[in-house]
Amino acid sequence: MVKILHLLVAIVLVAYCGRVTSQNIPLLGDLQSILDTKDTANIFITLSDGPEQIFNSILQQTFGSRANQIEALTNDLMEHANRTQQVVINVLNQFMATTGQNLTIKQYWITNQIYVQGANKVLVLLLQTLGAVIGFIREEIYAGFEPMAPKVAEYKEDEYTWGIEKINAPGAWELQETLRTLDPIVIGSIDSGVR
């Protein structure tokens, strides 16, 4: 009964939005199988009208300073995201109002994406009806890394460059070994060069 109600809600929402299309928006990764086995998934919606044209436009212009260029880029990207994402935001808001389901929604203006926490299969099917507005929908992915700190015992002075000594890395490694026996400390980084 609940599934039938969700399907009826989706049909009403699609008709309400007036955006029915035959184009099938790709579901990247394991999103389809995740939604087949779980009630909800966290998704990223990537708009087909990406930020590339904004970047190119800013590169073609001349600015009085780097700060002016950054301000113009920021304003243009935010305006572009607000304009192009509005159709999707309207559908998400209408879905929540109709179904009573609360979603966590975050808009990303730099990449022109929308993050939705708690999307169900009906919502994803509804989003697919938006056609060319959306480039693709992907499940949220967590990248995990194993700790890679070298042990102090492994350190041999002649095996490392002068920079290791200069920044006192062996001292940091010793401190790390001491701290490791106390409370665990988790350090995160998005810099791929950290390895």
Instruction: Output the pLDDT for position 60.
Output: 94
Instruction: Output the pLDDT for position 24.
Output: 66
The segments of the chain whose pLDDT lies below 50 read: 4, 16, 18-22
CA distances from residue 178 to 153, 164, 171, 184 in whole angstroms, order as listed: 13, 19, 11, 11
The 3-state DSSP class for residue 97 equals helix
Asked if residues 42 and 60 have their Cβ atoms less than 8 Å apart, the reply is no
d(CA 40, CA 110): 26
